[in-house]
Amino acid sequence: MDLVELGSVLGEFFDNGSGPSHNELDAAFTYTKTTTFDPAPRGAGPGGPVGKTKRIRQALMFATDGDPSAGFQLAVQVVSLLRADGTFVAEKSNADNLARIDRLGAALMRLGHTLHPDGTISAIVIDNLTGTKLTDALQAHVRRLNANPQDAALQIGGGKELDETAARHVLNELLGSYPVGGQAGSFPVTLAGAFTAVGFAIAPPVKFDSDPHRGVQQALFLLGLQVNRLRNEVGTGHGRPDKSSKTPDLTPPEARLVARATALVAGALLDKL
């Protein structure tokens, strides 16, 4: 999760010393356990005073690499402080403030969250979106899942919801509808339909372990083997001067997919160390 844009936008609310105080920001850092990213506790940096704008921007920049999930919670706390300070009161907003609020909403949207008119923040709800808006929301949902690696329940439940919604969205966009209910509307059939619609191959029946944990591990193993097979045909490292006779060249999106697959397998192995 890249918090640099969010930090840049949030910093605008503190221009010329406006907004919540340094003491209030201290409390936000402490509450979200992000004090290690604070360049200037109480506004006092190593070289002298540091303004609130710079303090917020640098903290979220550091958090992007250090702990983006905690950094995002810091940003949520800062927005709460702004709300308490009256930033989102319509009667008090001028054109400049409304523009800042719009930019904040756009930055949060790209991180998978919605900024409501009263200044509250919630995760994007994808059930009532369609078309391009749904595509954007699903991509934002991917970023939100990636930003919460320690939340197992969110990862498992959200991941299944994401796959199913994405599959239905693909079917709706390409075929005009998707089946609901019964065997035809089950997750395996829906996913198979979406794979077919975009031209992906469907795997033949595979006998996986009855334990779904081990089944996922077996699927990862097969994924690693097939990625290596593809690399041997079209990837680097074998000095092939000619095009493969077995498979077409990779498109940029396909190359990114393969890179993510290799990272997925490697990450699963390294997480066990």
Cα 70 to Cα 10: distance, rounded to the nearest angstrom: 16
Cα 25 to Cα 125: distance, rounded to the nearest angstrom: 30
Identify residue 258 by its one-letter amino acid code: V
pLDDT tier for residue 93 given thresholds of 50, 70 and 90? confident
Mean pLDDT throughout 139-149? Answer: 61
Range from 27-36, 114-123, 179-188, 253-262 carrying the lowest mean pLDDT: 253-262
Mean pLDDT throughout 36-52? Answer: 91
| pLDDT computed for residue 150 by the predictor | 53
pLDDT at 217 over 70: yes
Cα 26 to Cα 34: distance, rounded to the nearest angstrom: 10
> Greater confidence, 263 or 30?
30
Domain range summary for the chain, segments of one domain joined by +: 4-123, 125-202, 207-234+246-273
Task: Give the CA angle between residues 35, 40, 43 to the nearest 5°.
Answer: 120
| pLDDT computed for residue 238 by the predictor | 46
Residues β-bridged to residue 121: 115
| pLDDT computed for residue 241 by the predictor | 47
b/e sequence 94-113, b meaning 16+ C-beta within 10 Å: eeebeebbebbbebbebbbb
Closest of 29, 93, 89, 95 to residue 56, by C-alpha: 29
pLDDT at 73 over 70: yes
Range from 112-121, 154-163, 243-252 carrying the lowest mean pLDDT: 154-163
The per-residue pLDDT for range 97-117, each reduced to its tens digit, is 899 999 999 999 888 788 999
Mean pLDDT throughout 52-63? Answer: 95
Decide if 170 contacts 196 (C-beta within 8 A).
Answer: no
Identify residue 60 by its one-letter amino acid code: L
Computed over every residue of the chain, the mean pLDDT equals: 82
CA–CA distances in Å: residue 269 to residues 145, 181, 217, 249? 20, 37, 10, 29
The per-residue pLDDT for range 20-41, each reduced to its tens digit, is 999 999 999 999 999 999 999 9
Write down the H helix ranges in the chain. 4-12, 22-31, 52-66, 68-84, 95-110, 131-146, 152-175, 187-197, 212-234, 252-270
Cα 208 to Cα 252: distance, rounded to the nearest angstrom: 32
Percent of the chain with pLDDT over 70: 81
| pLDDT computed for residue 146 by the predictor | 58
What string of DSSP letters covers 84-153?
HTTTT-GGG--HHHHHHHHHHHHHHHHTTEEE-TTS-EEEPP-TT--HHHHHHHHHHHHHHHHT-TT-HH
